[in-house]
Structure 1
């Protein structure tokens, strides 16, 4: 079962822009060693928007290969074109992922009917479990709980990553979709409260930097231990903010570079590397969370 602390993994790159597979393999090993419950491959944090479909699928395939069954792998299969989403879906299925994460079609602003038809078409293209992904801050589209309720009866749509930051949606989604429908937070700042309210886990950016601590916080929150979860979350509060001081994944990629986990912090245009004005703030937040940079 996909629950707990899942990392929205960065995609390391060489200075020429090509994917750095040696560093990628180290990242997979790092998260296995640290106890992370699952890896999301080539989601927003993995720069899915700038990886063409063939390369996107290759990166997902490599992560599955490196994981070798030791950790769950969720492949990103979202696109603003349904045909492209289906292409990514078939590629992720061939790669051997455990599930897929599909963001709402961005920029297009489809109607509710179009959104439902999109997800049903993607789900029909595979037998692999699908997780919906609502992140209105990036897509200009908010998939409401009532819309999700019209999709949760599709056999292989098993859950949603809810990144609106609205913790109240947990109770609403539980009522509409039932206890078996998986609810993942996609907002690190409110993830603790999301899980304490009945969510099943979090797909996290901060988890790239402090996976062991983040895993402990998730375990405590899922066990209903508010006091311990709050105590463990407190050192990460600054990270929850500064890792979004510029567009994700700019700050987190720089932070992981400072940790020596990747060889280069290159990021593909139109994003650029972290402005030096913010280096001190990110380092301070990392120190507060017990990470030396």
Structure 2
């Protein structure tokens, strides 16, 4: 695991697909993808996120993917493990797994489907990172989760030092601008939408967690 003090995010971080063959993780193809991305100059790797179909992976598959990506990366770039879940306890367990296998940070999506309140979202992230201390990127994608983490909630979480960045996938550049105006000295902002990366960087964002990077 790379050491970051403090960890900062800048550049392109591919949200890796999870290759399968005959119903099983195709580890050879996954390692080839990791190698191609690193050779292409990416800033880091994000396995087991939305693009990696995390919600459909079984526990053993998640562990296999994380171990393979971390082993292939060999410390050349940081690995940010997707560790979010609808369940707070499962999120804790996924973060524990990420730390055990050597991930450098975790990507934590807002709990989805059940539409927690803003107070519930704040409590969720506080509890998770109180149980497992490691750098975290909070992932706000209301179109998928059904809940929008407000800027006020991000302000309430500003004292949780493990939260180092926000993956902004609201589709609203002005939201990123608002976060940066209020909390730009606290969080790095990464675009979660390839098409809005330029706009988000124009208002102070530092990079992108990219889906289309898988194709290059």
What is the distance in 2 between the residues matched to 1:58 and 1:128?
Answer: 20
- Aligned-partner SS, 1:2: coil
Q: 22, 31, 46: which one pairs with 2:52? A: 46
Per the TM alignment, residue 175 of structure 1 is displaced from its structure 2 partner at its CA by 2.5
Q: CA RMSD in A?
A: 1.1
Structure index of larger Rg: 1
What is the distance in 1 between the residues matched to 2:59 and 2:151?
Answer: 30
Q: 8, 11, 23: which one pairs with 2:15? A: 8
Per the TM alignment, residue 122 of structure 1 is displaced from its structure 2 partner at its CA by 1.0
What is the distance in 2 between the residues matched to 1:27 and 1:39?
Answer: 10
* Correspondence list, 1:55-204, <5 A: 55-204=61-210
What is the distance in 2 between the residues matched to 1:188 and 1:164?
Answer: 12
* Correspondence list, 1:228-247, <5 A: none
What is the distance in 1 between the residues matched to 2:205 and 2:82?
Answer: 21
- Aligned-partner SS, 2:46: strand
* Alignment: residue pair count: 209
- Aligned-partner SS, 1:114: helix
Per the TM alignment, residue 57 of structure 1 is displaced from its structure 2 partner at its CA by 2.3
What is the distance in 2 between the residues matched to 1:78 and 1:152?
Answer: 19
TM-score (norm 1): 0.69
What is the distance in 2 between the residues matched to 1:54 and 1:160?
Answer: 28
Moved over 6 A (4+): none
